[in-house]
């Protein structure tokens, strides 16, 4: 599978996960049917898929992550473990940990995405080169799905999806 097809599939997957999170948020009967255990496991699945996706870009497609991507990963990796442990052990009160990691990750991804879009739309000249040898986050050599969804933009949707589920968990716990 080439990089363009992989990126398109990942972009569509992230959008679908985001839409599913919104459906759960606004559908009261569905929200009530899902247990806390399932919410935590869903958070673990979202973060796990995101981790696998990021590592696939790095180790299969050899796209070196930039500094911002590395820092964003630091806040994504623990979400997998916290979600899995909370779901398996039925720990109801770990939503606060997930909230903290998610909100910091969201702020970082929004900042990173803003830097990219400022460069993409020539509003400002911002150097977001992912490494000395790797592709730039912007321009023709970076990952861009549907002309506007970049890797950090996928991160924004991922962290928002996790925050939506965390909000639901907080209300149910």
Assess contact for 131 and 58: CB atoms under 8 A. Answer: no
Phi, psi of 167 (to 5 degrees): -60, -45
Among 75, 61, 55, 60, smallest CA distance to 158 is for 75
Surface-to-core class of residue 99, CB atoms within 10 Å of its CB (0-12 exposed, 13-18 middle, 19+ buried): middle
Q: How many residues does the chain have?
A: 173
pLDDT in tens, the chain (173 residues): 888 888 889 989 999 999 999 999 899 888 888 888 899 999 999 999 999 998 998 899 888 777 788 888 899 999 999 999 999 998 888 889 999 999 999 999 998 888 887 776 666 555 555 544 555 555 545 677 777 788 888 999 999 999 999 999 998 87
Q: How far is residue 127's CA from residue 119's CA, in Å, rounded to a whole number?
A: 8
Q: CA distances (Å), 35 to each of 16, 41, 53, 59, 169, in order?
A: 21, 10, 27, 36, 9
Identify the pLDDT of residue 118: 77
| CATH architecture, domain defined by 3-14+33-172 | Up-down Bundle (1.20)
Structural tokens at position 16: 């679908």
Among 13, 21, 22, smallest CA distance to 50 is for 13
Among 56, 99, 59, 111, smallest CA distance to 75 is for 99
């Amino acid at each position: 599978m080439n990089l363009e097809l992989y990126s398109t599939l990942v972009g569509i997957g992230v959008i679908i996960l985001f839409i599913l999170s919104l459906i759960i948020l606004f559908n009261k009967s569905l929200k009530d049917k899902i247990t806390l255990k399932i919410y935590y496991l869903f958070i673990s699945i979202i973060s796990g898929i995101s981790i696998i996706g990021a590592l696939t870009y790095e180790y299969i497609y050899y796209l070196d992550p930039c500094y911002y991507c590395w820092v964003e990963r630091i806040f994504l990796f623990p979400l997998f473990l916290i979600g899995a442990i909370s779901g398996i052990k039925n720990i109801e009160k770990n939503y606060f940990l997930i909230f903290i990691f998610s909100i910091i990750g969201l702020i970082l991804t929004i900042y990173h995405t803003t830097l990219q879009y400022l460069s993409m739309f020539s509003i400002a000249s911002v150097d977001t080169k992912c490494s000395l040898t790797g592709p730039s986050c912007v321009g023709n050599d970076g990952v861009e799905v549907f002309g506007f969804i970049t890797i950090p933009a996928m991160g924004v949707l991922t962290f928002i999806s996790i925050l939506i589920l965390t909000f639901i968990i907080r209300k149910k716990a």
